[in-house]
A = this chain, B = another copy of it.
Amino acid sequence: MTTEKLTTKERILTTALHLYNEQGADIVTIRHIAKEINISHGNLQYHYKNTEEIILALFNQLAEAMDKGMAQAENPAIPTFAQFLADTEHMFSILYQYRFIFLHFVAITQRVPEIKKRYNAIESNREHQFIRLFHNYQETGIFRTDIPEEVWIDLVTQIFIVGNFWMPHNEIQLQLKGQKAVRHYVHLVGNMFYPYLTPKGIATVQTS
């Protein structure tokens, strides 16, 4: 990382992200953020008219990072199950950096409707990716072929629900911090697939 001076706009975003993650987007106001970086709230408002714009800018950062991660996971060198889990961990780590969004997901999407649209578009993409991946694993004999298509589709939905809401679940039930939380729920995702594996698939997973 370079140590160039950050622009005010950049400092606003990093500080806002920090405060949002610490205290929640419902509590932190423009004045709080301004105070934290020692600028006037009038100045902050010059850069971002209101908190909605800041949240949207942060979401765009997240979406960009997710796009990169997805592109990377799209064509793995070796398409193993272990690789899939490593990619999932990478994705979950990115999501965790923006956890204030997912801890209050509905409130955020109500406050910034644009986010809902964008997120659903991303997820729709991701759904097709999963279906392709499953067929892939079926062809290589890792996943079972005696399961109705409908069940696979619902499996994708399950993954989405866990993917979007593991942070609230952790907040309420476990309170794990940082990578500990990430790894815990990635492990859970791994186990979600266990009963879908063939005997050969199970052998593959256990040796890796």
Interface set of A (CB-CB < 8 Å, partner B): 24, 26, 103-107, 109-110, 116, 119-120, 123, 144, 147-148, 150-151, 154-155, 157-158, 160-162, 164-166, 168-169, 171-173, 187-188, 191-192, 194-196
Contacts and interface: CB of A to CB of B under 8 A. Distances in A.
Summarize A's interface: helix, strand, loop or mixed: helix
Contact of A172 (B24, B109, B151, B158): B109
Nearest to A154: B191
11 contacts: A104-B107, A105-B172, A109-B172, A116-B172, A119-B172, A150-B191, A151-B194, A157-B169, A164-B165, A165-B168, A165-B169
Contacts of A119: 172
Contact of A162 (B107, B144, B161, B196): B161
B104 A106 contact: yes
Nearest to A192: B158
A188 B107 contact: no
Contact of A173 (B24, B110, B123, B187): B123
Given A26-B107, A150-B191, A195-B195, A158 B162 contact: yes
A147 B194 contact: yes
